[in-house]
């Protein structure tokens, strides 16, 4: 048990000590809507690297019809917003699966430890498909929710890159910069655990992003996010 605690602490410190990328896993709520009219509110705090402030993320999911639901998520720190809608279905009393299509947009800023004069900043947009599955109130003790999500899509980035300064013979300095723009594939699995009372629950979530570069464009990203929050479900 002590070794497990040490591993968890080391993993968290490693995440917080790493530099931040233009993109980090969104780690939005995995709603698991069960029926028409159900509404779920969730808020979370997600640390994503030494050069980033704490991400504050909020989500609202709503069962519009018997099998159609929608969700809106925002992150004011990263200027990230996401909307998605799609099909959901309940199997028995506890298991739910969902298939959503959606779009997102956000802002990224990167600094470099080896050169404080270098930075990268810009915007990105994502078109994606997301599949969710999980159990709601799986156990009587702590009313456990266990949810899994897989998001896949295309991320488009448009960034201004400051490469430092060039010293001129006249004694002045000239700014060195360039632009990076292009598309990359995005694969993002997420896991979320909620526990507490029947409607009010605490949550722990973890996300991982994989964005392979192309010959023409490489999206700078931080691959891991781990956070905690609170959710409330209106029936």
Please report the sign of the dihedral spanned by the C-alpha atoms of residue 82, residue 224, residue 46, residue 226. Answer: positive
Residues paired with 131 in a beta bridge: 99, 150
pLDDT at residue 178 in the model: 82
- Cα–chain center distance at 137: 24
pTM greater than 0.85: no
pLDDT at residue 171 in the model: 67
Distance separating alpha carbons of residues 28 and 216, to the nearest angstrom: 29
pLDDT at residue 52 in the model: 53
Which positions of the chain have pLDDT values less than 50?
1-19, 50
Give 143-198 pLDDT, tens digit per residue: 999 999 999 999 999 998 877 777 776 767 777 888 889 999 999 999 999 999 99
**Residue owning tokens 């980035």:** 157
Residues 6+ away with beta carbon under 8 Å from 116: none
**Residue owning tokens 């990224």:** 108
CA distances in angstroms from 7 to 2, 62, 124, 205, 228, listed in the order given: 9, 38, 34, 18, 19
Residues paired with 46 in a beta bridge: 55
Contact 82, 103 (CB under 8 A): yes
pLDDT at residue 48 in the model: 60
pLDDT at residue 24 in the model: 84
């Amino acid at each position: 048990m002590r070794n497990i605690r040490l591993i968890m602490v080391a993993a968290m410190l490693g995440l917080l000590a790493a530099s931040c990328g233009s993109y980090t896993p969104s780690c939005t709520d995995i709603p698991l809507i069960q029926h028409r009219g159900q509404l779920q509110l969730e808020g979370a705090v997600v640390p994503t690297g030494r050069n980033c402030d704490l991400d504050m993320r909020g989500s609202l999911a709503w069962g519009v019809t018997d099998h159609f639901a929608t969700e809106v998520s925002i992150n004011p720190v990263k200027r990230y917003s996401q909307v998605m809608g799609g099909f959901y279905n309940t199997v028995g009393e506890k298991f739910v699966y969902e298939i959503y299509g959606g779009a997102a947009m956000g802002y990224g800023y990167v600094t470099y430890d080896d050169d404080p004069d270098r930075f990268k900043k810009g915007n990105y947009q994502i078109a994606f498909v997301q599949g969710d599955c999980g159990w709601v109130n799986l156990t009587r003790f702590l009313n456990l929710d266990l949810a899994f999500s897989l998001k896949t899509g295309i991320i488009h980035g448009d960034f201004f890159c400051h490469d430092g300064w060039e010293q001129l013979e006249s004694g002045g300095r000239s700014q060195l910069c360039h632009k990076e723009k292009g598309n990359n594939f995005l694969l993002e699995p997420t896991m979320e655990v909620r526990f507490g009372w029947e409607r009010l629950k605490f949550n722990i979530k973890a996300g991982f992003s994989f964005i392979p570069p192309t010959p023409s464009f490489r999206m700078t990203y931080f691959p891991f996010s781990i956070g905690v929050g609170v959710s409330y479900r209106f029936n």
